[in-house]
């Protein structure tokens, strides 16, 4: 086997392993009256995205006002099921975490000026992602 093929194979395996291992934890929620508290600390660390950014996405998607608290929580105005919140988290991951080029979850997000860019550590792709208004 050619040396370069060998390297290719190793890189490929690495990427596949990483994708296999990618198993984001489910997000916990808690209903308090007409509000829903969403615990984002674990998922935030797992997918390497700020609680702030995930929270804004949830507020936008659920058209709910929200308050971001210390310790990785966001309190949304309105009652939302745990399943719905987790569906939105999946959407977030698809939009802001998974590389659109190669499908790797091993990406970084940087904020340059007011725009966010996703950079893939797998294939090196870099592209802007939508702003959450
Ligand atoms: Zn990629």
Q: What is the DSSP string of the chain?
A: --HHHHHHHHHHHHHHHHHHH--PPPPEEEEETTEEEEE-HHHHHHHT--HHHHHHHHHHHTT--EEEETTTEEEEES---HHHHHHHHHHHHHHHTS-TTT--S-EEEEEETTEEEEEETTT--EEEEPPP-
In a domain, 62, yes or no: yes
Residues 52 and 66 grouped into a single domain = yes
**Residue 64: which of 56, 72, 73, 54 has the closest Cα?**
56
Residues 67 and 129 grouped into a single domain = no
Residues 83 and 129 grouped into a single domain = no
For 105-128, how does the pLDDT look when each residue is reduced to its tens digit (9 = 90+)?
A: 999 999 988 899 999 999 999 999
For 14-27, how does the pLDDT look when each residue is reduced to its tens digit (9 = 90+)?
A: 655 555 689 999 99
* Low pLDDT (below 70) residues in the chain: 1-2, 6-7, 10-20, 133
Residue 5: other Cβ atoms inside 10 A: 9
pTM here?
Answer: 0.83
Neighbours of ion ligand 1 (CB under 5 A): 99, 101-102, 104, 120, 122-123, 125
Distance 69 CA to ligand 1 centre (A): 33
How many distinct structural domains can be found in the chain?
2
Domain, as residue range, for 122: 99-133
The per-residue pLDDT for 15 is: 58
In a domain, 9, yes or no: no
The per-residue pLDDT for 21 is: 80
Distance 63 CA to ligand 1 centre (A): 31
């Amino acid at each position: 086997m050619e040396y370069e093929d060998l390297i290719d194979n190793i890189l490929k395996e690495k990427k596949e392993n990483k994708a296999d291992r990618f198993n984001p934890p489910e997000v916990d929620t808690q209903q308090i009256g007409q509000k829903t508290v969403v615990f984002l600390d674990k998922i935030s660390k797992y997918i390497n995205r700020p609680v702030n950014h995930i929270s804004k996405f949830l507020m936008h998607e659920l058209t709910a006002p929200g308050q971001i608290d210390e310790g990785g929580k966001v309190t949304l105005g309105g009652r939302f099921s745990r399943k719905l919140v987790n569906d939105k988290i999946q959407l977030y991951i698809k939009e802001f975490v998974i590389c659109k080029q190669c499908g790797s979850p091993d990406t970084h997000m940087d904020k340059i000026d007011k725009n966010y860019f996703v950079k893939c550590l797998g294939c090196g792709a870099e592209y802007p992602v939508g702003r959450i208004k």
